Amino acid sequence: MKEKEKCTPCEANFERNIHQLVKEGEAPTSKQHHDRKQEVKAAFEESKPRK
């Protein structure tokens, strides 16, 4: 199977957007990211049907 080729312009645009968010202070801190991840995980745990 042929491996997919990377989209260089897309990657460059993505990297630029990430750097811009960090520069503007809009990107979440690692603590905020961890807290949100735990919140989402807990929400999905609650919505699972019980056996």
Predicted pLDDT of residue 16 = 85
- What average pLDDT score do residues 23-49 get? 84
Contact 10, 19 (CB under 8 A): no
User: Residue 2: is its pLDDT beyond 50?
Assistant: no
Residue 35 confidence (pLDDT) above 90: yes
pLDDT tens, position by position, 13-31: 888 888 888 788 777 788 9
pTM of the model: 0.42
Domains of the chain, by residue range, sit at 8-47
Residue with the two structure tokens 């960090």: 22
Q: Answer yes or no: is pLDDT of 3 > 60.
A: no
